[in-house]
Amino acid sequence: MGFIFDKNTWQEIFGSIGKNKTRTIITVIGVLWGIFIYIALSGSAKGLDNGFEKAFETVAMNSMFVWAQSTSMPYEGFKTGRQLQLKMGDVTVLENRVPEIQSIAPRNAKGVFGDAPALVVNGQKSGNYAIYGDFPVFTKIATKKIYDGGRFINDDDIEQTRKVCVIGERTQNELFEKDEDPIGAYIRVDNIYFQIVGIHKFTPGGGFETDGDIYIPFTTYRKLYNTGDNVGWLTIAAYDDADVVQAEADVKAVLKSIHKVNPDDERAFGSFNLGEVFNRIMGFAKGMTFLSLVVGIATILAGVIGIGNILLISVKERTKELGVRRALGATPSEVKNQIILESVFLTVIAGIMGIILGAATLSLINSFTEGGDFPYANPTVPIPYVLGALAIMVVLGTLIGLIPAQRAVSIKPIDALREE
């Protein structure tokens, strides 16, 4: 293999590939295009993947919402169409009976599902906003970003039924002056004064929440709106390794048994499984990655075959030259090595240029989509993939180079020389 590092070998190779520059360039473009497609596609797929992940980063990937509806089947003496209501007691039972549950946050809300939002007043300014009654554990399921100087609802707030609230950015803009610090200030929510303890930053990520939402302690909400033990809906996070679909079924089964609902009643409890949706989206992203891999490699293959094809023509054109070289003392293996090296060299050069071009394109796309709504972030191709692609190209370049190389030495020098 020493000939690879021999300067003379390379001088010969540069000499022969340099003699037909147009053809060399077109050949190189074939493979360059292949690797470019591969890099651009798999990078984009990765970007999409990252984008989805980013969009979901504020919500636990394996979380779900469960709410009560009305029964559609009679059971144990209850008639059809009975309106169900989740209770605080359900939470403890669920925690005890469904091992997949990591955390469970009961929530109540006003002004979200069709009912009138609360009137919120600060001095001369007022507005209508949705009010949520929450437990601190909610932040474990859906991250809430709180601006510096503020906090979310804590356990003491719940225990002491404090009249504190976390307001949204929009609420702040609408109810306060620009230079006013709302933390510590009081606002009137449905005629009760609440002290503001925090401002949450709104992160779009689907769901029904907005940037104007006001969070208050669950216990305070209960008193304010007289909801007793009622719970609007449950937000549940399963453990990372748990099967979310199974957890969802388990939760519903337990709820049915608590509320004496026919186990086969599909409509009694509604649920939205973020985990399942997430899995589907990630599955899509994975599919994209796989597809881009297949398409990319197929394109590379096409490019490499193109190189083989061109070299085959080139060998045919150079029959006489190769004959002369052999008459002057080139051994068949020297001729072969030269042609294979030409093939590999062209492939690798094209590959490296394609990788650079692909990376440049990816960074260009990234700079265009940055900050937009499109789920696309940080498109990268892992280094092992890049090296893998290069390795594939060296191997393919060698294999494809073998064909013209074999052909070059299959002609006897005497026949090669005779050819006019």
Spatial contact of 267 and 93, defined as CB atoms under 8 Å apart: no
The sign one gets for the Cα dihedral 355, 356, 359, 365 is: negative
Report, in Å, the least distance between residue 322 CB and other proteins. 10
Q: Which is nearer to other proteins, 165 or 409 (CB)?
A: 409
Report, in Å, the least distance between residue 410 CB and other proteins. 10
Q: Which is nearer to other proteins, 54 or 320 (CB)?
A: 320
Report, in Å, the least distance between residue 302 CB and other proteins. 29
Whose tokens are 């997430």? That residue is 278
Q: Which is nearer to other proteins, 19 or 286 (CB)?
A: 19
Q: Which is nearer to other proteins, 16 or 378 (CB)?
A: 16
Q: Measured between alpha carbons, how far is residue 161 from residues 190, 193, 232, 255 in Å?
A: 16, 13, 18, 28
3-class secondary structure, 31: helix
Q: Which is nearer to other proteins, 128 or 331 (CB)?
A: 331
Q: Which is nearer to other proteins, 152 or 345 (CB)?
A: 345
Closest CA to 47 of 211, 292, 220: 292
Report, in Å, the least distance between residue 399 CB and other proteins. 22
User: Which stretch of DSSP H or E encloses residue 192?
Assistant: strand 192-201
Report, in Å, the least distance between residue 315 CB and other proteins. 15
Q: Which is nearer to other proteins, 188 or 320 (CB)?
A: 320
Cβ burial, residue 225 (10 Å; 0-12/13-18/19+): middle
* Residue partners of 412: CB distance under 8 A and separation at least 6: none
Distance, CA of 315 to chain centre: 48
Report, in Å, the least distance between residue 321 CB and other proteins. 5
3-class secondary structure, 102: strand
Report, in Å, the least distance between residue 311 CB and other proteins. 16
Q: Give dist(CA 121, CA 110) in Å, integer.
A: 16
3-class secondary structure, 18: helix
Q: Which residues contact other proteins (rule: CB under 8 A)?
A: 7-8, 11-12, 15-16, 18-19, 320-321, 323-334, 409, 412-414, 417, 420
Q: For residue 334, which amino acid is it?
A: E
Closest CA to 239 of 63, 53, 58: 63
